[in-house]
Structure 1
């Protein structure tokens, strides 16, 4: 299983609400992530709004495509889009800024 890390920028004035929304992610969204091949998915938020995401998947593009086909993901992304800066009209889950792994000990 491959590891992927990405980053996005949450609007500083919406960080508290973003955090709160993720305390109660819809059960159907969590099920869709799992069924679409997203494993060990975590989000980390820095105090300036930098969001770091980590996910394991067999193939990230396939996992993203599987999620894109779900109705629950469309609803979730529509609600989350307003929390981010620099998306250029994309949904938050479309083409995230992937980071290159330079070291792993395991």
Structure 2
């Protein structure tokens, strides 16, 4: 069964346009990896008041991006994005899973 996953991350001040530009040029190999791992719909929204990035993924059973941190292209992407976002010591984005509270099908 498919599921929807939501999480939040934090953008550094003044990095909005660069973040947008880099995602418009998302690497084809990263796109392919996400799709191969069940991610078939992915949105990221920005709350400009707080610089919180709100991400929503629709994934096939057992899929998602949250378990791909050992893949070289993912680590390369993290390094590429680290200057724009709050990151952990391994340069992965600080990502907080969000609990679903309501769904209107």
TM-score range, shorter chain: 0.7 to 0.9
- Displacement of 1:80: 1.0
Report the RMSD for the aligned CA atoms in angstroms: 1.9
Name stretches of at least 5 consecutive residues in structure 2 with no aligned partner: none
Q: How many residue pairs end up in the alignment?
A: 101
Stretches of 4+ aligned residues off by more than 4 angstroms: none
Q: Give unmatched runs, 5+ long, in structure 1.
A: none
SS state at 1:102 partner? coil
Give the helix-richer structure, 1 or 2.
1
Q: Distance in 2 between matches of 1:25 and 1:69?
A: 19
TM-score (norm 2): 0.83
Is residue 54 of structure 1 aligned with residue 53 of structure 2?
no
- 1:22-101 to 2 correspondences below 5 Å: 22-48=23-49, 49-57=51-59, 58-59=61-62, 63-65=65-67, 67-85=68-86, 87-90=87-90, 91-92=92-93, 96-101=95-100
Q: Please give the TM-score of this superposition, normalised by the length of structure 1.
A: 0.82
Task: Classify 1:25/1:63 alpha carbon distance in 2 versus 1 (closer, same or farther; 3 Å).
Answer: closer
In the alignment, structure 1 residue 5 sits paired with structure 2 residue 11: no
